[in-house]
Amino acid sequence: MRRNSSQKTSLWSWALGILLPSLPSPRFGVDVLRLLLILALDLAIGSTIFPHHLMDLTTAWLSFLFISRPPLRALLLLILAAVTLEEHGALPAGIYGCSYLIALTVISILRKQIAWRNYFPWLVTTALVQGWIICFELFVFYLKDSSFFAYNISYLLGQSLRLGSAAVLATIFYLSNSKAIGEDQTFGITS
Amino acid sequence: MFGFKKKHFRLVMGIAAAVMPFVFFATPLSPWQNSGRVLMLTQEFIYPLEYLWHTVGHRGHELLSTYAVLVGTAQENVQLKKENFLLRTRMIDYEHQLQEANRLREMLKFSQVSSREITVAEVVGSTSPTPFQSIRISRGSNEQLRVGMPVIAPQGVVGKILRVGYAFADVQLLVDSNFHLDVMVERTRIRGVLKGLSDSRCRLLLHRRADIKIGDVIVTSGMSGSFPKGLVVGAVVRISYDSDNVAQVVTLSPQVDYHRIEEVVVMHAVDPSVETIKETVGEAWMEDVISRRSSPAH
C-alpha cells in the first residue's frame, strides 16, 4: 500500500517536472520538447475542456521563458510557439509572432531593472503579458469583424478568467522554482 | 563577431518588434496557406494527441449513451426500421432518377460531373468562436485531400480545406471572416458573394432592388471556386440597408450547426479555372508558381 502511494507520488512529481518550467535553464532541446508538450496540451485538450480559450498554458509558460532564458533562446522558442498556434486553425499569420515578440522585447529591456527574487514581479509580468495578448487578439478580431463584440459577450467575459488563470499559473511556476530564483538573480544570463 | 551580435541583439529585436506590427496590419489578416512540411512538423507532433483525446472522449460518450441510457431504445428501433424501409424504397426511385440525370448530362455535355469522388472524415477538433473559425478533420494527404476542396455535410456547405497534413486537414468554416463564396438565391437566381461573420452567421450584399425575403434559401452558384452548383448554404434571417442605401445587407443563418458537427464529406473537386490554367501552361509550371507564392520570401 505504502509502495503504491510512493509510486503515485513519484509519477505525479515526474509529470509536474515535465510540465513546469524549470530553473536553472535546462538544455535547449529540453525546453523545445516541454514547450511542444504544453502546446499539445493547450491546443488538443485545453481547447475542448475550456472552449472559450479560458485556460492559456502557453502564454504563462512563454512569459516565464522570456524572463528566465537568454533572449536568443527565448526568441527561438517564441517562433516555435507562434508558428504552432497560428498553424492550428484559421487565425491570421503573424498574430502571435507579432504580439509575443513585442512582449519579449519589453521584458528583455526591463529585465535588469526588476528584482525577480520577489513573487510580485513574476505575477505582474505574466498577467501583463496575458493581458497584452488578449488585447491584441481582440483588436485583430474587431478589425476583421466590427460586430464581434456585440455577439460575443460570453467570450469577452471569459477573457477575464483567462487572465486569472495566467496569474494562478505564474504563482505555481514561481513556487516550484522559488529556491532556484533566490539563489541566482540573473538566471545565468550575462548579456 | 559573437560579441557584436550579443551587443546589438536587443537593438535588432527592438527594431523588429517596432516594424512587425506595421507589416502584420498591412497584410489582409489571412491565415497561413499551403504551409510547407517544415511549418507543419509541429502540427504532425500535436495531431496524435489531439486524435487520441478526441477518440477517448467520443468513445466514452458513446459507451455512456449505449449502455447507460437504454430507456426507449426498443421503441426507437422499431421506428428506425420503419424509416429505413421507407428510405430504401425511395432509394430505388432515386437511383433511377440519378441514372436518368446522368444520361441527360451526357447528352447535353454538361461540364459539371455529378459523380465526384468523396471522402468521409471525422471532426476531431474546433477553434473558439472568434471571427477566425476552423475545424480539424481526420483525413489528410494520405487520402489525396488538397487545399481548396469543398467540405459539406448533409445539411449543406461546411467550408473548404485550408491546410493539409499527412493524416489531418484544417477546414476553414463558412462563418470564418476570411471565407468568401459565390452564391445565389434559390428562388430568384440572383447572385452575390457571401462573407463569413461572427456568431455563426454570414453576410451577403445585394442590389437594393433585388427580390429577396426572409426565409429564402441561398445555394452555391458553381460559378467560381471548387464548389458545385446547388449546395445549400443557409437561409435568410435578416435584411437591412447599408448606410448609403445602395445595397441590401442580407444576413444568413447557415444550415449546418458547426458546434455539433461530427462528420463531414470532402468532395474531391478542384477549381475549374485553376484546372484550365494547368491544362494551358502545364502542371509543373503551375506547381512551381504555387510553391514560389507560398514560400516565406513572398
CA distance B208 to chain A (A): 22
B218 pLDDT band, cuts 50/70/90, is very high
Query: Which residue in A87, A104, A147 is closest to B32 by CB distance?
Result: A87
Chain A residue nearest residue B52, CA to CA: A44
How many inter-chain contacts (A to B, CB under 8 Å) are there?
Answer: 151
Interface with chain B: mutation pick from A84, A98, A104, highest number of B CBs within 10 Å = A98
Flag whether pLDDT at B1 surpasses 50. Answer: no
As given in the structure block, the three cell numbers for residue B266 are: 470532402
Mean pLDDT value of segment B107-132? 73
Flag whether pLDDT at B201 surpasses 60. Answer: yes
CA distance A2 to chain B (A): 31
| A70 and B CB contact within 8 Å | no
Flag whether pLDDT at A80 surpasses 90. Answer: yes
Q: Which of A32-41, A141-150, B271-280 has the highest mean pLDDT?
A: A32-41
Which pLDDT does position B107 carry in this prediction?
64
Long-range contacts of A105-113 (CB under 8 A, 24+ apart): A105/B10, A105/B13, A105/B14, A105/B16, A105/B17, A107/A63, A107/A66, A107/A67, A108/A66, A108/A71, A108/A74, A108/B10, A108/B13, A109/B10, A109/B14, A111/A67, A111/A189
Which pLDDT does position A100 carry in this prediction?
95
Which pLDDT does position A77 carry in this prediction?
93
Which pLDDT does position A59 carry in this prediction?
92
Maximum CA extent, chain B: 81
| A135 and B CB contact within 8 Å | no
B283 pLDDT band, cuts 50/70/90, is low
Terminal-residue alpha carbon distance, chain B = 30
Q: ipTM for the complex?
A: 0.79
Q: Which residues contact A31 (CB under 8 A, 6 or more apart)?
A: A25, A65, A69, A73, A77
Query: Which residue in A51, A105, A140 is closest to B29 by CB distance?
Result: A140
DSSP secondary structure code for residue A45 in this structure: I
Q: Report CB contact under 8 Å: B130, A109.
A: no
B62 pLDDT band, cuts 50/70/90, is confident
Mean pLDDT value of segment B33-47? 80
Listed by start position, the domains of chain A span 22-183
B235 pLDDT band, cuts 50/70/90, is very high
Contacts of B27 in chain A (CB under 8 A): 92-94
Q: Report CB contact under 8 Å: B31, A105.
A: no
Beta bridge partners of B61: none
Contacts of B40 in chain A (CB under 8 A): 87
Which pLDDT does position B183 carry in this prediction?
92
| B60 and A CB contact within 8 Å | no
Query: Which residue in A94, A105, A155 is closest to B14 by CB distance?
Result: A105
Could you read off the pLDDT of A29-54 as tens digits, one per residue? 888 988 998 898 888 887 777 766 77
| A74 and B CB contact within 8 Å | no
Could you read off the pLDDT of A158-181 as tens digits, one per residue? 888 889 989 998 998 888 887 777
Interface with chain B: mutation pick from A101, A113, A136, A162, highest number of B CBs within 10 Å = A101
What is the distance between the alpha carbons of residues B34 and B57, in angstroms, rounded to a whole number? 31
B5 pLDDT band, cuts 50/70/90, is low
Mean pLDDT value of segment A103-122? 87
Contacts of A159 in chain B (CB under 8 A): none
For chain A, the average pLDDT equals 83
Listed by number, the residues of chain B in 216-235 with a beta carbon closer than 8 Å to a beta carbon of chain A are: none
Contact indicator for B237, B253 with CB cutoff of 8 Å: yes
Q: Report CB contact under 8 Å: B170, A75.
A: no
Contacts of B178 in chain A (CB under 8 A): 90, 144
Query: Which residue in A51, A143, A148 is closest to B29 by CB distance?
Result: A143
Contacts of A97 in chain B (CB under 8 A): 20, 24
B297 pLDDT band, cuts 50/70/90, is very low
DSSP secondary structure code for residue B261 in this structure: -
Instruction: Give SS3 for A160.
Output: helix
Which pLDDT does position B126 carry in this prediction?
81
Which pLDDT does position A183 carry in this prediction?
67
Question: What percent of chain B stands above pLDDT 70?
Answer: 81
For chain B, the average pLDDT equals 80
What is the distance between the alpha carbons of residues A6 and B279, in angstroms, rounded to a whole number? 68
Q: Report CB contact under 8 Å: A152, B129.
A: yes
Mean pLDDT value of segment B222-247? 84
What is the distance between the alpha carbons of residues B14 and B136, in angstroms, rounded to a whole number? 36
Q: Report CB contact under 8 Å: A93, B27.
A: yes
At residue B34, φ and ψ (nearest 5 deg) are 50, 45
Could you read off the pLDDT of B81-119 as tens digits, one per residue? 888 877 877 777 777 778 777 777 666 655 454 456 888
| A33 and B CB contact within 8 Å | no
